Amino acid sequence: MMRTISNNNEVENDYEGSLKKGPWTQDEDAILIDYVNTYGEGNWNSVPKNSGLSRCGKSCRLRWANHLRPNLKKGAFSPEEERVIVDLHAKLGNKWARMASQLPGRTDNEIKNFWNTRIKRRERAGLPIYPPEVIRDATLYHIREEQYFDQPYNSSLSSSSFPPLLSSSYPKKLNASSHYHALVNPKKLNASNHYRGPLNHKKNQPISLYGSSSNLFNNNGFVISNNYARPVSHDYQYYNNGFNTSSIMPPLAPSSVSSSITPPDSVTPASSNVSGVDGFMGASSKVNNEQYEVSQFSPQENIGLLGALVVDGRSILRNNKTRSEDSTVVAAAEKSSNKRKSIVIMENALERGTTVESALKKKKNSGKSSNETPVSSSGTGKKQIAKEASLALEEIDVSWDDDLCSLLNNFPTEMPTPEWYSGGDHKAESSGRETHQQPNAPPPPIDQELGWNNVGTSWNNMPSIC
DNA sequence: AACAGCAACAACCGCAACCTA
DNA sequence: TTAGGTTGCGGTTGTTGCTGT
């Protein structure tokens, strides 16, 4: 619903000469458009001086960016856009600007408003925020990130508080501005978690790995590698219909750095050539007086709510004392290796729908004579997988915090994907009041408690909110 | 018709990072 | 190296219109 800007200058100046606030008038818009067309964008503080507008530069920039600049898409979000937003939010968190970069013509403010209004609605209805499929894929996404970005010696992220983890999938109030904020907002992070990815040569800024759809993952010669196979579930098929799938894929190692499927160790000898790729900057760190090249991106750069889940889980897994001067590189590496194995096992099990126990047994038996205990065949549910994942992790002697076990054991189980997400008939929910049902609705809900049933559970047909 | 509640949207504010002299 | 200016981002608040009672 677009509201026309009133011509009435109802917002009076506080006093003569002050900068005006409130809604913009058409006249003001015209002045700003004319100014930008003449002088171009930027140097916003000079706009009020040179154009005669009684608006601060900041306000001018915002007005231009959100409403006046060309190629802005107006109107309600399309179903595809909405699904992209949900997916991106699961992966990135409240990174509105980055999300906007994935949605041409959309502004961060639009996306933010879209999200907030729907979150509020769902919260009020006591419904989960993300569809289960999104949770699963985002979890895999972050697990993969962790495989690449595990930083045994750089663990300044707090693990003191276990974030809501999958709380986003449960009818639990989400307070995005609480401790979670510290996890998703890189600005709030400890300086030691600085970005280590490719940099923009001009500004010496990190290159957004989620940049415009035309240059994803290959800015500044950063080569996209397909070596690291990412299973694309049917849930992501829609991305190929006008949206770039790679935009939501985990960051990939430069092909010249890692040409095999094996994730690079987080700490590699300094002799490794990681600076050969233009735009990719390897950072050095000293451990026990030895120089190591750390070639990795900071996962904190694109962490989402579910990312916080994994990061905190990782922090739990990680021995927080590994930064101690007494730790040896070897010991830490072994520990890290075990943890990574566990993650791989979990991940593979989640992907294939097999049990972690089975995966682990296969791994164990690959070097031993068979002395098998029956392998669970019924545990294809995520809950079962998660449960067995924790068992598997115990077996390989990885310390496993109760909280993380709780996370795995509470992994949402067998919740059907709502029709709006799975590409069914979608009705714009801008009004938020209409109700509709799929004529060929899948079987009745399995987990009505969480609201991911087929009757009145999608964002389009949420139950009426009192 | 009047009112309340709500959703959607626009705009502001504070903070932090970046840039440059 | 530093300080001031600029820009970008995310959270919050205010406004408007619609719907239901």
> How many of the other CB atoms lie within 10 Å of CB of A432?
13
Which tens digits make up the pLDDT trace of A342-379? 444 444 444 444 443 444 444 444 443 333 333 333 33
Q: Specify the nucleotide whose C1' lies closest to residue A181 (CA).
A: C10
Indicate the number of domains in chain A.
3
Q: Is the CB of A202 under 7 A from strand C?
A: no
Please indicate, yes or no, whether residues A99 and A135 belong to a single structural domain of this protein.
yes
Average pLDDT over residues A99-108: 88
DSSP conformation class of A76: S
Report the C-alpha gap between A8 and A22 in whole angstroms. 11
Determine phi and psi for A357, rounding to 5 degrees: -60, -45
Average pLDDT over residues A420-443: 36
State which of A45-49, A116-120, A256-260 shows the largest mean pLDDT. A45-49
Distances in Å between the Cα of A286 and the Cα atoms of A79, A154, A167, A325 are 49, 11, 37, 11
Please indicate, yes or no, whether residues A341 and A196 belong to a single structural domain of this protein.
no
Report the C-alpha gap between A163 and A371 in whole angstroms. 40
Q: Is the CB of A109 under 7 A from strand C?
A: yes
Contacts of A19 (CB under 8 A, 6+ apart): A48, A54, A55, A56, A59
Q: Is the pLDDT of residue A106 over 60?
A: yes
Name the residue closest to the C1' of B10 by its CA: A23
CATH of the domain at A51: 1.10.10.60
Please indicate, yes or no, whether residues A127 and A256 belong to a single structural domain of this protein.
yes
Q: What's the CA angle centered on A460, arms A459 and A462, to 5 degrees?
A: 65
Q: Per mean pLDDT, which range of A150-159, A215-224, A401-410, A436-445 is the poorest?
A: A215-224
> CA of A104 vs C1' of B14, distance in Å?
28
Q: Among A381, A452, A464, A466, which Cα is nearest to A420's? A: A452
DSSP conformation class of A178: S
Q: Which long-range contacts (CB under 8 A, 24 or more apart) does A65-69 make?
A: A65/A107, A66/A107, A66/A109, A66/A110, A67/A24, A67/A29, A68/A29, A68/A32, A68/A33, A68/A36, A69/A36, A69/A41
Q: Is the pLDDT of residue A141 over 70?
A: yes
> CA of A58 vs C1' of C7, distance in Å?
9
Q: Is the pLDDT of residue A430 over 70?
A: no
> CA of A23 vs C1' of C15, distance in Å?
9
Name the residue closest to the C1' of C13 by its CA: A22
Please indicate, yes or no, whether residues A319 and A337 belong to a single structural domain of this protein.
no
Report the C-alpha gap between A249 and A142 in whole angstroms. 10
Mean residue pLDDT of chain A comes to: 49
Q: Is the pLDDT of residue A205 over 80?
A: no
- Residue A444: inside a domain: no
Which tens digits make up the pLDDT trace of A49-98? 888 888 988 899 899 988 898 888 888 888 888 888 888 888 888 888 88
pLDDT of residue A120: 73
Q: Among A225, A238, A249, A291, which Cα is nearest to A92's? A: A249
Place of tokens 């590409």: A423
Coil, strand or helix at A386 = helix
Domain that holds residue A294: 75-323
pLDDT of residue A87: 86
Please indicate, yes or no, whether residues A114 and A245 belong to a single structural domain of this protein.
yes
Give yes or no for a contact between A27 and A38, defined as CB atoms under 8 angstroms apart: no
**Residue scoring higher pLDDT (A415 or A26):** A26
Cβ within 7 Å of nucleic strand B, residues: A 1-3, 5, 20-24, 55, 58-59, 62-63, 66-67, 76, 109-110, 112-114, 116-118, 120-121, 124, 187-188, 191, 202-206, 429-433, 465-466
**Residue scoring higher pLDDT (A51 or A290):** A51
Please indicate, yes or no, whether residues A149 and A265 belong to a single structural domain of this protein.
yes
Average pLDDT over residues A295-300: 32
Please indicate, yes or no, whether residues A278 and A400 belong to a single structural domain of this protein.
no
User: Residue A336: in which H helix or E strand, if any?
Assistant: helix A329-352
Please indicate, yes or no, whether residues A162 and A96 belong to a single structural domain of this protein.
yes
Name the residue closest to the C1' of C5 by its CA: A45
- Residue A296: inside a domain: yes
Query: Which of A288, A306, A323 is the C-terminal boundary of a domain?
Result: A323
Confidence label for A393 from pLDDT (cuts 50, 70 and 90): very low
Report the C-alpha gap between A307 and A145 in whole angstroms. 9
Please indicate, yes or no, whether residues A142 and A59 belong to a single structural domain of this protein.
no
Please indicate, yes or no, whether residues A293 and A379 belong to a single structural domain of this protein.
no
Tokens of A108: 């961060």
> CA of A277 vs C1' of B2, distance in Å?
68
Please indicate, yes or no, whether residues A34 and A90 belong to a single structural domain of this protein.
no
Please indicate, yes or no, whether residues A159 and A302 belong to a single structural domain of this protein.
yes
Give yes or no for a contact between A271 and A247, defined as CB atoms under 8 angstroms apart: no
